[in-house]
Every structure is written in structure tokens, then in C-alpha cells.
Chain A
């Protein structure tokens, strides 16, 4: 459905340049959900913006079905954009405070070529479906809570009858108590409409709950991608493992080996040599001086269903070796 082909996004930083996203290949399965996880600064949101055309793609291509989205300009781009809708992170910023909820959603609905009456009927349907009720039509965004606003944003995204929805951290600005309800709504709506979804989050539990496949990003690159149950139960990349191990657990086995990260994510302007992760990796050259390949050569993604970009993936490195390093 939505496919990113070797996408690179380069930003200006002062006098220099840096790659926020570097050679990323992604494919969102039709009717399915691809989760995208990573730390702050790993390039998740830039992937979303590039896919939606909010930032220009420096190299590579973005496809929506058979159409190359990244090559569209002007009028063609406008009509193509309808097919890919974005739900933004902050529902307080993504709704114009001066327009009524009805106006906001009706405008999105009318881009599909509906008449005014049809658009308004569609808006009422969506208000009803998202649990906001018909009374919301004439009210303004400030009269709603964060969770309700996010429902409005979801209704707006669906109003354009998109084929793909990009949800950029749609629940991270919400209270925990309403996160689950919003996620559940997204999942139900996906089932009803068959829309594909690129779901971006730094919350592993959330991604696990909604995504069939998951991609892990680090410093603008995909380091691991595969079916979510496999990635979460037996991560191959040490970075994925450290992310999972960082999640606190109630009633976890005592004495279980947990891998931990040192430091913060490096500055993308000064990307480490070789494998970008080697400066923080708990199994690479930082812990085993003989593994010089980590700082010399950049690993590429393996082939297959569950792919990993690591010189020493965890299933190859024996468990005892991991334990020995600690």
C-alpha cells in the first residue's frame, strides 16, 4: 500500500547537513499496521513527514499503491494527498481553534468530491462512530478534552476516505486512561474500513498491541524489522533488546539478564563510523575489543521476513556470550 523505497531525508544544520533519515525501506501491508519504534531523535517522525510530503525527500521514492507520491506536484499532489491522512501527536495543535468541529471534518470529507450535503452527512456519521455525538458538530475544539480532540482528528483523517493513515504518536499526548480507548477506536475503524496504518510510537507496549509488523529505527536507519510477535519475543538486534529490557516489568523473573544502554543517542550530525550503534552497543566492539568490524563496517539488513542490520545478531551470539559480557 504505502511503500518507502530507499528514502533519505537530509536537513540543513547551520552550515552543514545531516541525514535525519537514511536509506529507509518500509512497506505498510494493505489493511494491516506497521509499527515504527525508536528513541527521540531516531527519525520516526521525519519518516512520517516525508511519507506525507510535508518535508521533501532528498533521495529515494515514496509510493502509494502504484503511484509515486514523491513525484507528484501541484494539483496532482493535492488530490493524491487525500489518500494518505495523518493523525498528529498533539490534538491541541492539530485542530484550528477558530473552526468548528463540523467545519473541520466536513472540509476533509468534501475533498473526495462529495457535495456539501453528502459531506455533512458523512461528518455526522463519523461523529457518531467516534463517539462524539451529533452535538459536537457546532462546537469548537477548545470545548473538548484531549482524548475527544484526538477522536476529532481521527474522524477528520477518515473523512477523506484514505487508503493509509499515518498515526504519529497519536496517544503520547493523552492521559493513560484514555490512551486505550483511542487505540481501540483506531483498531475498530481499521477493521471496518480496511485502511492501512503506519503507527509511530516510542511506546513498545502500544506498538505491540496494534501492529502486525514492527520496524525499529536508530539514528535514521532501520535496524530491525519483522512480525511484531517475533521482534518482541526474540529480538535480533541488541538495540531492540535494550529497548525491551528498559521496560519495567511487574513480576518479572528475578536475576534475568537485562541489557542496558549507555549514554544518549549520538548527535546525527556526527554519525559514528561503521555501525551507528557501536558507541552504545552492549555486545559490540565497546565490550569485546576483537569485534573491530562494528566500528569499521556498516551492517546491512539481512534478507527474509525478520530482518536485522547487525554484525552479531543475538540469535547467533549465544546467550552465554551475552551474559559473559555483562
Chain B
């Protein structure tokens, strides 16, 4: 081949299209993180088919067996298959934390949006209430809420609610400041100047920008919510023992660890850690992309 031909370096790979090309352009860490999240989500989604849950059978003959082909993550102190438990635990943890993140994002979005859009006294009062919530210790306040609401709604709803109620604050602040900065941006002024109604401005200019910020706070909230759910379960205040969650499993495994069963701690804890780290990586990347400072250069 001539030097000229070398310079042209023909690309023999099949050209990627649409979504695939967008993924290929992401940084490596984000690609890996996305892969991990997708695999774990699918695993949680298809858990009942992959490994049907059997909470009743106790096989005392197979107590604390190390990982093997039939039980890839070993068994716990009462002989239950850990792989099954982790899959179902992940399912419960994800469900609760995603629900909590959705509720927190919607609540925070609505309250922050109200404060930012109305402004004035409403803004001042709402944001002082936000300050009151922000001043509480997340975990202790949430714990109190779980204890108070569990008898009324059951564990799943109680944990979801407590995480949501303690975490909408940051979303509200982000959405409010986003709307405040948008309202004074020239393109919004220009649209008002061209006769746009409040509704038009809210729908065409504010909402599209706010939705992006909301999506990001949602992603950042999920690992946080998982940690809280696991924390409550670890303390015995979250999911009931009959319902495996990642926090439950880590809590239960304390005894196994003393008996030499390292796998009972490692696998649920590892899955918890890897999932949160992966979502956190995606969230951090998204936050950098949305960094308000990189946009402020464009302002007047």
C-alpha cells in the first residue's frame, strides 16, 4: 500500500447509527458504568425467572456453603441460596429507591418550580421551609419517619416516603435557581418582548431546561436512596426479614462473617457498592455536562 493510501486510513468498521453512536462517544468509565447498570437492572427485572424465590425451604444441611456451581454466591446460615437472595434483594432495593427518587424529584420540582416561578414572598417563605428540612440530619429524620409511618403504611411505603421526604430539598433548590437564572436570560426576555404568554414561556423555555436538571437530580438521588434503604434495613427498621433487601442481607451476614462465611457479606455488599458507584459515575458525568458555570459564559 502506498503512503498515500495509508494516510487515508479507510474505516472498515460498520458505521454506527443513532443511539449506538452516541454511546460510543461517551467516556470509557461512563460506558462501563452504563453496562453495569443495564446488567443489574435486567437481573433485578428478571429475577423471578432467573432464580425463583423460595423463602420457606430451609436446608440446614447446606448451611454456609462456600460459592459453588449450584450456588454461585454460596449459602447463608440457614442454607438459603445467596444468589437468589441477592437478585431479589436488588429488586426490592431498586424498587424502593427508584420510587423514592421519583417522588423526591417530583416533590422538589413542584416546590422549587413554584418558588422560582412565582417569586417574591411565596419564594421567601417556601425557601425558608426548605431550609428547615435541609437543616435536619437526613438519616435520623428519615429514621423517625420510618418508625412513625411503618405501622400505618407498611415497610415499603414507609421507607419510600421517608427517603423522599428527606431528599426533595436539593431538587427544589436546583430547580428554583435554574428557573430564576432562566427568567433573566435574554432569550426569555426576547420571547416575552415578542408577546409570549406566561404559559408559553413556561412550556417552551423553562420546562425543557428544568426537565434536564430534574432528570439529573433523579439519577443522583437513586444511589443515595439505595444507601438509605439499606441503612434502615441494616438497622432492622427497613424491610421485614421475610423480604430480602440488600441492606437486610448485609445485616444478616454479620453472623456468617464470624463463622467464616465471607461470601455472605461480600456479595450483597459488593452488588450494592458496584451499583451505587456505577449510577454515581453516570450522574457525575451528567452533572459535568450540565455544569451551570460552563453555561454562565453565555450570559450577558
- A225, chain B: closest CB distance, angstroms: 26
**Centre residue among B187, B192, B200, B300 by max chain A CB count within 10 A:** B187
In Å, the complex CA distance between A84 and B209 comes to 27
Chain A residues within an 8 Å CB radius of B191:
96, 107
Q: Is A28 close to B, CB under 8 A?
A: no
In Å, the complex CA distance between A140 and B191 comes to 16
Contact of B298 with A107 in the complex, beta carbons under 8 Å = no
Given A78-B197, A90-B298, A107-B196, A98-B190 contact (CB < 8 Å): no
User: Helix, strand, loop or mixed for chain B's interface?
Assistant: helix
**Centre residue among A79, A90, A93, A107 by max chain B CB count within 10 A:** A93
Q: Which residue of A has the minimal Cβ distance to B186?
A: A94
Contact of B205 with A96 in the complex, beta carbons under 8 Å = yes
In Å, the complex CA distance between A82 and B191 comes to 10
Q: Is B208 close to A, CB under 8 A?
A: yes
Contact of B192 with A95 in the complex, beta carbons under 8 Å = no
A sample of 19 inter-chain contacts (CB < 8 A) reads A78-B195, A78-B197, A79-B195, A81-B193, A85-B193, A85-B194, A86-B193, A89-B300, A90-B298, A93-B298, A95-B190, A96-B187, A96-B188, A99-B204, A107-B196, A107-B200, A108-B194, A111-B195, A111-B196
- B269, chain A: closest CB distance, angstroms: 42
Chain A residues within an 8 Å CB radius of B205:
96
Q: Which residue of B has the minimal Cβ distance to A90?
A: B300
A88-B186, A90-B300, A99-B204 are known contacts; what are 11 more A-B pairs with Cβ within 8 Å?
A54-B192, A78-B197, A86-B189, A88-B190, A94-B186, A95-B187, A96-B187, A98-B208, A111-B194, A111-B195, A153-B190
Chain B residues within an 8 Å CB radius of A52:
193
Q: Is B51 close to A, CB under 8 A?
A: no
Given A88-B300, A98-B209, A93-B186 contact (CB < 8 Å): yes
Chain B residues within an 8 Å CB radius of A89:
186, 300
Contact of A92 with B195 in the complex, beta carbons under 8 Å = no
Chain A residues within an 8 Å CB radius of B208:
98
Q: Is B288 close to A, CB under 8 A?
A: no
Q: Is A310 close to B, CB under 8 A?
A: no
- A294, chain B: closest CB distance, angstroms: 35
Chain A residues within an 8 Å CB radius of B298:
90, 92-93
Contact of B204 with A96 in the complex, beta carbons under 8 Å = yes
Q: Is A221 close to B, CB under 8 A?
A: no
Interface residues of B in 226-272 (CB under 8 A from A): none
**Centre residue among A52, A96, A108 by max chain B CB count within 10 A:** A96
Q: Which residue of B has the minimal Cβ distance to A53?
A: B193
Q: Is A275 close to B, CB under 8 A?
A: no
Given A88-B300, A99-B204, A94-B194 contact (CB < 8 Å): no
In Å, the complex CA distance between A167 and B186 comes to 13
Interface residues of B in 194-225 (CB under 8 A from A): 194-197, 200, 204-205, 208-209
Tally A residues with Cβ within 8 Å of B. Answer: 26
Q: Is A61 close to B, CB under 8 A?
A: no
Q: Is A237 close to B, CB under 8 A?
A: no
In Å, the complex CA distance between A160 and B196 comes to 11
Q: Is A156 close to B, CB under 8 A?
A: yes
In Å, the complex CA distance between A108 and B192 comes to 10
Chain A residues within an 8 Å CB radius of B193:
52, 54, 81, 84-86
Contact of A160 with B195 in the complex, beta carbons under 8 Å = yes
Contact of A93 with B187 in the complex, beta carbons under 8 Å = yes
- A271, chain B: closest CB distance, angstroms: 25
Interface residues of B in 268-300 (CB under 8 A from A): 298-300
Chain A residues within an 8 Å CB radius of B204:
96, 99, 107
Q: Which residue of A has the minimal Cβ distance to B196?
A: A107
Chain A residues within an 8 Å CB radius of B200:
107
Chain A residues within an 8 Å CB radius of B188:
96
Contact of A93 with B197 in the complex, beta carbons under 8 Å = no
Q: Which residue of A has the minimal Cβ distance to B204?
A: A99
- B179, chain A: closest CB distance, angstroms: 14
Given A88-B300, A89-B300, A99-B204, A94-B187 contact (CB < 8 Å): yes
- B124, chain A: closest CB distance, angstroms: 15
Interface string of A119-154 (1 = CB under 8 A from B): 000000000000000000000000000000000010
- Select A81's contact among B186, B187, B192, B299, beta carbons within 8 Å: B192
Q: Which residue of B has the minimal Cβ distance to A79?
A: B195
Chain A residues within an 8 Å CB radius of B186:
88-90, 93-94
In Å, the complex CA distance between A99 and B197 comes to 17
